[in-house]
Amino acid sequence: MAADTLPTGASGRGKPVTDPQSQLRVRAAWLYYIEGLTQSDVADRLGVNRIMITRMLSDARKRGEVVIRIKSKLGPLVESQIQLEEKFGLAKAIVAPFGEDDGDPTRVIAAAAGEYVSGLMRNNVTIGVGWGRTLHTMLPYVEGRTLEGAKVVSLLGGIAQARRFNPAEFAWQFAELFDAEGFLIPAPAIVDSAQTKHALLEHCGLDHIMGMAETCDVVLLSCGGISTITTSYRTGHVSEAERNSLIEAGAVGDVLYNFLDSDGQPVPHPVNDRCIAVSVDRLSRLSNKVLISGGIEKTEIIRATLKSIKPNTLVTDEATARRLLAEDE
C-alpha cells in the first residue's frame, strides 16, 4: 500500500488509522494479493459481501495503493493482526502503530480502542466495563452521543479514596458519554476477608448486580502486570508484601483483581478470595469480550487472559503484538 494510507505520525508515535475504510481496504488487499485468497474467501473472512471486496480492490488499484508489493507501513500491522487472530482464535485483532519495545503504548492503544468502542455503541446496548489506566485514557477518544435504553455495568467494586483510576468513576464517566443508565457495585474492590465477601454477595444483593454481566452484549476489559506496583490505583489495596507473595504463588498479573498464573488460572492466594469482581469463570462464559491492553509489563498477563477468558477482540500495540507472536513461536 502507498504511504498515503497511513495516518499522520504512523511511524511509531502517531495516532492509529482513523479511516475504517482504509483499514478494511488494506486488510482486503493483503488477504487477496499476498495470501492468495479468493474474493469470496476474503469476503467471508472480513464479514462483507463479495461485491464490496471487488469494489475495494478496484478502489485500491485506482488510488495507486496496490502495486507489485505492499508498500505501506500498515502492511506489517495487518500481518500482525491476522497472525494474532489465527494464533489466539480471535474474531478481530486491532494493532496500533507503536515501535518502541520498552515505551508506554497506553495512548495509542486508547485511541484505537476509542474508535472501535464508539462503533459498538447503539440503542439498547448493555455494556460491562472494567477499569485501569488504559480504559481511562480511552475516554477522550470515544465518540459520545445520546442512546436510548443503553446500560453500563461495572464489573468490580470501587475504591473508597478519591483516585483518578477508580472503577466507579470510570463506569460513571463512560455512561455519561451516552446518557446511559449506570449500575455500580457498592462495595470495595477488595474487602478484608473471604467471609466479608461471602456476606456481601449472598446477603447484600451484590451477586445480583455482578450477575448482570451475563446480560451484557459486550464487555470491555484491561489487565495489569505485577512486576512492579507503580500503578497508582493498586497502591493501598495490594501491599508490597502481598504483591511479592502473589508472584511467589505464580501470578503474572490480574484481570479485575483476579490474579492469574501463566495458564490463565486464578492463583491460590487470599487476595483472590477477597476481591469483589466478576470471576474468571463468569467472564469466560460471556459471548463478546474486548481486551484492551499492551506494554512490556503486561505481555504475560495478556497471554494468560487470552488463554482463560478467550476474548473475541484484542486491541493492543505493534510492539506488544510482536512479543506475543514471538513468545508463541
> According to the model, what pLDDT value does residue 124 have?
97
- Which of 65-69, 104-108, 184-188, 272-276 has the lowest average pLDDT? 65-69
- Which of 17-31, 119-133, 228-242, 269-283 has the lowest average pLDDT? 228-242
Query: Mean pLDDT for the chain?
Result: 84
How far apart (Å, rounded) are the C-alpha atoms in residues 24 and 22?
A: 5
118 pairs with which residues across the strands? none
Give the CATH class of 103-328.
Answer: alpha beta
Return the ∠ at Cα 224 (arms to 18 and 276), rounded to 5°. 115
Please state, in angstroms and as integers, the Cα–Cα distance from residue 52 to each residue in 4, 28, 33, 57, following that order: 22, 10, 16, 9
> According to the model, what pLDDT value does residue 154 have?
92
The pTM of the full predicted model, rounded to 2 decimals, is 0.77
Asked if pLDDT for residue 259 goes beyond 60, the answer is yes
290 or 103: which leads in pLDDT: 290
Identity of the highest mean pLDDT range in 14-18, 20-24, 71-75: 20-24
How far apart (Å, rounded) are the C-alpha atoms in residues 154 and 141?
A: 20
Q: Domain boundaries in the chain?
A: 3-88, 103-328
17 — pLDDT class (breaks 50, 70, 90)? very low
How far apart (Å, rounded) are the C-alpha atoms in residues 162 and 164?
A: 7
- Residue 250, φ and ψ in degrees, nearest 5: 105, 5
Asked if pLDDT for residue 203 goes beyond 90, the answer is no
How far apart (Å, rounded) are the C-alpha atoms in residues 306 and 93?
A: 12
218-221 and 92-96 as β-strands: parallel, antiparallel, unpaired?
unpaired
Asked if pLDDT for residue 72 goes beyond 70, the answer is no
> According to the model, what pLDDT value does residue 233 have?
42
Please report the DSSP string for 253-307 in residue order.
EEETTEEE-TTSPBPS-HHHHHB-B--HHHHHH-S-EEEE--SGGGHHHHHHHHH
> According to the model, what pLDDT value does residue 50 have?
87
Return the ∠ at Cα 18 (arms to 39 and 218), rounded to 5°. 80
Asked if pLDDT for residue 325 goes beyond 60, the answer is yes
Asked if pLDDT for residue 153 goes beyond 70, the answer is yes
> According to the model, what pLDDT value does residue 161 have?
54
How far apart (Å, rounded) are the C-alpha atoms in residues 82 and 84?
A: 5
Tell me which residue has cell 462495595. 187
Q: List the grid coordinates of 325.
A: 507472536
> According to the model, what pLDDT value does residue 55 have?
85
| CA 93, 126, 286, 246 torsion-angle sign | positive
| CA 293, 297, 300, 305 torsion-angle sign | negative
Residue 282 burial (10 A CB sphere; 0-12, 13-18, 19+): middle
Share of the chain above pLDDT 70, in %: 84
CATH architecture of 3-88: Orthogonal Bundle (1.10)
3-state secondary structure of 14: coil
220 pairs with which residues across the strands? 129, 290
Identity of the highest mean pLDDT range in 16-25, 70-79, 240-249, 261-270: 261-270
